[in-house]
């Protein structure tokens, strides 16, 4: 029987107090990983995730960092190393939230924030955590992208410019560190149902009509995909952009 077994692995999930991050963290812990639950400002939510993992007999700690600041990321790495050991899996999920509008109306600062929390975030996490993976000749770099990167719809420009930069960066990284048996992959959610939408359902009929499966997926679908690419079952998958959106976007060859 195939199983996702992450026993004895240490995972770091950035933005782990958020809608997708909390489910990703709990799922990796359910697979046996010790999880560093990162937060920037959401300490209470992060500690609630840690408590959930402890209640399920898992190992987890909460760690604070600004993922756009190298010194802060390095301090987080050192704290994780002291408490859990060196990281085997990093899941780069954190991103700054802002109001979307047209290119002509979007504040230039929003483009900078998306570059910093998407592209630079991935650079700093790689610099901090990949060297130890190289020493072990095993590692997983996983980043959360979005279906929006392929859609290029109105009002998306700041978000997808940051995520587009992330995509190109990680394709290069996959080629640079692959020889060390480290995989680099991106999971790209569609408009998923998470706690926010379970509590306050959205008017999503128009969106669902365009999805081949005619429905929205769930936060757990993203967590399941992350767990898969983190595991040895996906040891020969690298450089992939994996949409988890019911076929709403389809990469072509």
Model confidence pLDDT, tens digit, residues 98-145:
999 999 999 999 999 999 999 999 999 999 999 999 999 999 999 999
Examine residue 222 and state whether it is found in any structural domain, yes or no. Answer: yes
Tens of pLDDT, residues 145-182 = 999 999 999 999 999 999 999 999 999 999 999 999 99
Residue 201 confidence class, pLDDT cut points 50, 70, 90 = confident
* 237 falls within a domain: yes
Number of domains within the chain: 1
pLDDT at 199 over 90: no
User: Counting beta carbons within 10 angstroms of the beta carbon of residue 183, is it exposed (0 to 12), middle (13 to 18) or buried (19 or more)?
Assistant: buried
Q: What is the C-alpha to C-alpha distance for residues 94 and 97, in angstroms, rounded to an integer?
A: 10
CA–CA distance, 196 with 202 (Å, rounded to integer): 9
Rounded distance, CA 67 to CA 184, Å? 18
Distance CA 81, CA 31 (A): 20
Structure confidence at residue 37 as a pLDDT band (50, 70, 90) = very high
CATH code: domain of residue 136: 3.40.50.720
- List of residues 6+ apart from 139 with CB closer than 8 A: 88, 89, 129, 130, 132, 133, 177, 180, 181, 182, 183
Per-residue model confidence as pLDDT tens digits over 18-32: 999 999 999 999 999
Strand partners, 187: 144, 242
Model pLDDT, residue 95: 95
pLDDT above 90: residue 186: yes
Per the CB < 8 A criterion, the answer to whether 102 and 50 are in contact is no
Distance between CA atoms of residues 208 and 193, nearest Å: 12
Residues classed as catalytic: 159
Measured in whole angstroms, the distance separating CA 112 from the mean position of its chain's CA atoms is 20
The per-residue pLDDT for 60 is 98
Position 253 scores a pLDDT of 85
| Residue 228: pLDDT band with limits 50, 70, 90 | very high
Average pLDDT of the chain to the nearest whole number: 97
Answer yes or no: is 249 within a domain. Answer: no
Q: Is residue 158 part of a domain?
A: yes
End-to-end alpha-carbon separation of the chain, Å? 33
Phi/psi of residue 217, nearest 5 degrees = -90, -175
**Assigned domain for 97 exists:** yes
- Give the structural domain span for 165: 10-244
Q: Is residue 251 part of a domain?
A: no
Query: CA-to-CA distance for 172 and 64, rounded, in angstroms?
Result: 28
- The answer to the question of residue 253 being in a domain is no
């Amino acid at each position: 029987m195939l199983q996702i077994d992450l026993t004895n692995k240490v995972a770091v999930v950035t933005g782990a107090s958020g809608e997708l991050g909390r489910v990703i963290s709990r799922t990796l812990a359910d697979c046996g990983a010790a999880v560093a639950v990162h937060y920037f400002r959401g300490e209470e939510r992060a500690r609630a995730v840690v408590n959930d993992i402890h209640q399920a007999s898992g190992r987890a700690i909460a760690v604070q960092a600004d993922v756009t600041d190298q010194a802060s990321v390095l301090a987080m790495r050192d704290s994780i190393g002291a408490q859990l050991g060196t990281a085997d899996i990093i899941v780069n999920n954190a991103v700054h939230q802002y109001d979307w509008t047209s290119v002509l109306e979007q504040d230039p600062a929003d483009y900078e924030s998306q570059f910093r929390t998407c592209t630079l975030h991935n650079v700093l996490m790689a610099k901090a955590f990949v060297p130890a993976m190289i020493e072990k000749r095993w590692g997983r770099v996983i980043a959360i992208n979005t279906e929006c990167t392929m859609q290029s719809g109105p009002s998306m420009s700041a978000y997808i410019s940051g995520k587009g930069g992330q995509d190109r960066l990680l394709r290069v990284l996959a080629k640079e560190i692959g020889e060390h048996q480290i995989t680099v992959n991106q999971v790209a959610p569609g408009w998923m149902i998470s706690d926010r939408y379970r509590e306050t359902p959205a008017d999503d009929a128009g969106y669902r009509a365009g999805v081949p499966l005619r429905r929205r997926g769930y936060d757990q679908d993203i967590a399941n995909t992350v767990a898969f690419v983190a595991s040895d079952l996906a040891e020969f998958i690298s450089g992939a952009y994996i949409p988890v959106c019911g076929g709403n976007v389809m990469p072509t060859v």
